[in-house]
C-alpha cells in the first residue's frame, strides 16, 4: 500500500546497495580491505583491480581476484603453484576480519540519501537493501548507519543457500521480506555493474550511480575537489559501463534519484515495465516523460526582454550538474559546521534572492541566503571580518524575519572558488 496522497501508485519499493550507494562515499572500505589483505599474502593489487569485481559477494570477489593473471603470476612466484580454493578461503577470511572494523568506520550517509529515504517513506515506499558484505560485517554497518540516521526495512546478505550478485536471489528475498510484488514495482539502485545485473536478472528497474561509489572511486572531499573536465570524463566512462550492464537510468548519486523514481512511476503508469524499457535507448527513456516540468512564476525582472523572459520560464539553472555540485557542497559544509552528526538532524536550505543591480549580461543568477547557526558563540560580525581577511565578503541578511546572511556568486565564479571558501570557513571554526 502507498501512503494517502502519495505521488507514487505503481512503484512500491526501492532496494539500495550499501557501500558507494547509501554509505561510504567512493566505496572505500571494501577496496582498502582487499588491497590490505592481498598485501599480507605478498601480492600487489591496485584499486582498479579490486574495483573491477566490486558488488560481488566477498568470497566470490576474492576468487575472481585470485583468478586474475597478474595476481596468479605473483602467486606462482611466491608459492610455486596456482592459488587454490583453500587460498580463496584464507584471503576471504582476512578480508572479512578487516571489513568488520573498516566498514563500520565508513558509514556516513552519502549526500542526498537521508532526504531520499525520508521522501520515500513519506510516500509509502518500502526501502530494502542487498549487499556483497556478509551478515557478520553488516551487523556493525547496520548499527553505525542507524546512529547516523539511516536504516533499511530489510537487509539481505549472500549466504550458502542464497548466492549473491549477479544472481537475482537476494532481490527476490527482498521482495519476499517486504511483501512487494510484482517485480516491476521495485527499483534497484547501486553503484556497480553487479548491482545493475542483479536488478535486471530479477526483473526490476535498475538505476546506476556514476559518481558516488565504485565507478568514480573517490571519497567525498576528493570528489568535490575534482576538476569539472575530469569529473565529466569519469561520469561518461561510468555511465557507459553501467548502461552496458543494463541500467535503465544512470545518475551521479542518491541526490539525483527522486526525479528518476518519479519518471519510473510515470513509465509504469503508461504501461511500460522494466523488461520493455530495457529495449529502449537511454535517450528514449528520458524523453518518455518531459524533462523538468517545473515552471517559474516570476521569470526574471521586468527589465528583461520578452524573449529572455520566455526562455526563463523553465527552471533550467538548478538542474545543471556543475551548479548542483556547487550548491550541494556548500550545503554539506554549512551543516558540517554544526558538528559531525549534524547531517542527521539539520539541512541547509538555499533561498534565492530577487534584487538585481548589475546589467543583465553581467549578472550572476543567484544570491543565496543562509540561516545563522544556532550556536551560543555565533557572531556574524566576527565571521564577516574573518572571511574578509581571507578574501571573501558576505552580505548581512535582508527582508527576512529570520537572522540570515547571504552569499553572492557574482562574476566569474568557479568550483575552485567554492572550495577555497569552504576551506576558509573550516579555518575560522
Of 364 and 409, the structure prediction assigns the larger pLDDT to 409
Give the count of domains, the chain.
2
Q: CATH code at 208? A: 3.40.50.1000
Same domain? 284 vs 342: no
**How many other CB atoms are found less than 10 A from the CB of residue 337?**
16
Of 18 and 352, the structure prediction assigns the larger pLDDT to 18
363 DSSP 8-state letter: -
Cell numbers given for 68? 586474475
| Range in 133-137, 301-305, 337-341, 417-421 the model is least confident about | 301-305
53 DSSP 8-state letter: T
Same domain? 77 vs 36: yes
Tell me, yes or no, whether 207 lies in a domain.
yes
* Burial class of residue 200, CB neighbours in 10 A (0-12, 13-18, 19+): buried
Same domain? 284 vs 380: no
Same domain? 74 vs 156: yes
Does residue 281 have a pLDDT over 80?
no
Residue-number span of the structural domain to which 120 is assigned: 1-291
Does residue 159 have a pLDDT over 70?
yes
What does DSSP say about strands 367-371 and 351-352: parallel, antiparallel, or unpaired?
antiparallel
Does residue 294 have a pLDDT over 50?
no
* Tens of pLDDT, residues 199-252: 999 999 999 999 999 999 999 999 988 888 899 999 999 999 999 999 999 999
Tell me, yes or no, whether 374 lies in a domain.
yes
Domain endpoint, select from 276, 291, 306:
291
Mean pLDDT of 108-123: 94
Does residue 353 have a pLDDT over 60?
no
Q: What is the 3-state secondary structure (H, E, C) of 25-44?
A: CCCHHHHHHHHHHHHHCCCC
Mean pLDDT of 270-276: 90
The pLDDT, as a whole number, for residue 362 is 44
Distance CA 49, CA 65 (A): 7
Whether 306 is catalytic is no
Domain endpoint, select from 273, 291, 309:
291
Tell me, yes or no, whether 298 lies in a domain.
no
Does residue 117 have a pLDDT over 80?
yes
The pLDDT, as a whole number, for residue 53 is 95
Question: Do 12 and 126 meet the contact criterion of CB atoms below 8 Å apart?
Answer: yes
Among 144-148, 263-267, 409-413, top mean pLDDT goes to: 144-148
CA dist 402 to 224, 348, 369, Å? 30, 14, 10
Question: Do 261 and 227 meet the contact criterion of CB atoms below 8 Å apart?
Answer: no
Does residue 288 have a pLDDT over 60?
no
CA dist 174 to 74, 158, 177, Å? 40, 12, 5
% the chain with pLDDT above 90: 59
Mean pLDDT of 109-119: 94
The pLDDT, as a whole number, for residue 304 is 56
Same domain? 94 vs 168: yes
Same domain? 29 vs 158: yes
The pLDDT, as a whole number, for residue 7 is 76
Same domain? 327 vs 374: yes
The pLDDT, as a whole number, for residue 241 is 96
List the strands of the sheet with 404-408, edge to edge.
351-352, 367-371, 404-408, 395-396
Distance CA 192, CA 204 (A): 16
Q: CATH code at 420? A: 3.90.1150.10
The pLDDT, as a whole number, for residue 334 is 79
Does residue 8 have a pLDDT over 90?
no
Tell me, yes or no, whether 348 lies in a domain.
yes
State the pLDDT confidence band at 287, using cuts at 50, 70 and 90: low
Angle at the Cα of 73 from the Cα atoms of 68 and 79, rounded to 5 degrees: 115
3-state secondary structure of 126: strand
* Chain position carrying cell 537487509: 155
Name the average pLDDT for the chain: 84
Of 270 and 164, the structure prediction assigns the larger pLDDT to 164
Among 262-276, 320-334, 350-364, top mean pLDDT goes to: 262-276
Within 13 A of 69's CA, how many CA atoms are on the CB side?
Answer: 0
The pLDDT, as a whole number, for residue 308 is 56
2 DSSP 8-state letter: P
DSSP 219-258: -HHHHHT--HHHHHHHHHHHHHHHHHHT-SEEESSGGGHH
3-state secondary structure of 132: coil
Catalytic residue of the set 10, 24, 49, 58: 58
Does residue 356 have a pLDDT over 80?
no
Tell me, yes or no, whether 306 lies in a domain.
no
Cell numbers given for 258? 527522486
Distance CA 133, CA 154 (A): 14
Whether 17 is catalytic is yes
Same domain? 328 vs 271: no
Same domain? 231 vs 330: no
Same domain? 272 vs 362: no
Mean pLDDT of 164-181: 97
State the pLDDT confidence band at 86, using cuts at 50, 70 and 90: very high
3-state secondary structure of 311: helix
State the pLDDT confidence band at 118, using cuts at 50, 70 and 90: very high
Same domain? 255 vs 369: no
Distance CA 193, CA 243 (A): 9
Distance CA 113, CA 126 (A): 14
Residue in 88, 143, 147, 76 with CA at minimum distance from that of residue 155: 143
Same domain? 207 vs 130: yes
Amino acid at each position: 500500500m502507498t501512503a494517502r496522497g502519495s505521488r507514487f501508485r505503481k512503484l512500491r519499493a526501492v532496494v539500495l546497495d550499501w557501500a558507494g550507494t547509501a554509505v561510504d562515499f567512493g566505496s572505500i572500505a571494501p577496496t582498502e580491505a582487499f588491497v590490505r589483505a592481498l598485501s599480507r599474502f605478498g601480492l600487489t593489487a591496485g584499486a582498479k583491480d579490486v574495483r573491477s569485481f566490486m558488488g560481488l559477494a566477498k568470497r566470490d570477489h576474492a576468487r575472481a581476484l585470485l583468478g586474475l593473471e597478474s595476481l596468479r603470476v605473483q602467486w606462482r612466484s611466491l608459492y610455486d603453484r596456482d592459488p587454490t580454493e583453500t587460498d580463496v578461503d584464507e584471503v576471504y577470511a582476512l578480508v572479512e576480519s578487516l571489513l568488520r572494523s573498516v566498514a563500520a568506520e565508513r558509514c556516513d550517509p552519502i549526500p542526498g540519501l537521508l532526504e531520499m529515504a525520508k521522501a520515500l517513506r513519506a510516500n509509502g515506499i518500502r526501502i530494502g537493501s542487498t549487499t556483497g558484505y556478509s551478515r557478520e560485517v553488516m551487523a556493525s554497518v547496520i548499527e553505525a548507519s542507524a546512529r547516523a540516521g539511516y536504516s533499511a526495512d530489510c537487509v539481505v546478505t549472500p549466504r550458502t543457500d542464497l548466492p549473491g550478485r549477479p544472481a537475482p536471489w537476494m532481490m527476490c528475498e527482498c521482495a519476499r521480506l517486504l511483501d512487494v510484488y510484482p517485480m516491476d514495482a521495485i527499483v534497484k539502485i547501486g553503484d556497480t555493474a553487479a548491482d545493475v545485473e542483479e536488478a535486471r536478472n530479477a526483473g526490476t528497474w535498475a538505476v546506476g550511480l556514476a559518481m558516488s561509489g565504485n565507478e568514480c572511486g573517490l571519497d567525498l572531499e576528493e570528489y568535490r575537489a575534482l576538476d569539472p573536465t575530469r569529473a565529466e570524463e569519469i561520469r561518461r566512462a561510468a555511465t557507459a559501463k553501467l548502461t552496458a550492464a543494463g541500467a535503465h537510468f544512470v545518475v551521479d548519486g542518491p541526490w539525483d534519484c527522486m526525479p528518476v523514481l518519479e519518471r519510473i512511476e510515470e513509465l509504469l503508469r503508461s504501461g511500460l515495465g522494466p523488461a520493455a524499457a530495457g529495449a529502449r535507448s537511454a535517450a528514449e527513456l528520458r524523453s518518455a516523460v518531459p524533462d523538468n516540468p517545473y515552471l517559474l512564476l516570476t521569470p526574471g525582472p521586468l527589465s528583461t526582454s520578452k524573449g529572455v523572459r520566455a526562455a526563463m520560464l523553465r527552471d533550467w539553472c538548478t538542474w545543471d550538474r556543475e551548479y548542483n555540485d556547487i550548491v550541494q557542497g556548500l550545503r554539506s559544509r554549512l551543516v558540517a559546521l554544526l558538528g559531525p552528526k549534524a547531517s542527521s538532524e539539520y539541512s541547509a536550505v538555499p533561498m534565492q534572492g530577487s534584487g538585481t543591480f548589475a546589467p543583465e549580461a553581467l549578472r550572476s543568477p543567484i544570491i543565496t541566503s543562509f540561516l545563522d547557526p544556532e550556536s551560543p558563540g555565533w557572531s556574524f560580525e566576527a565571521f564577516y571580518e574573518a572571511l574578509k581577511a581571507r578574501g571573501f565578503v558576505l552580505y548581512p541578511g535582508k527582508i527576512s524575519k529570520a537572522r540570515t546572511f547571504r552569499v553572492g556568486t557574482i562574476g566569474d565564479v568557479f568550483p575552485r572558488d567554492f572550495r577555497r571558501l569552504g576551506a576558509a570557513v573550516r579555518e575560522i571554526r
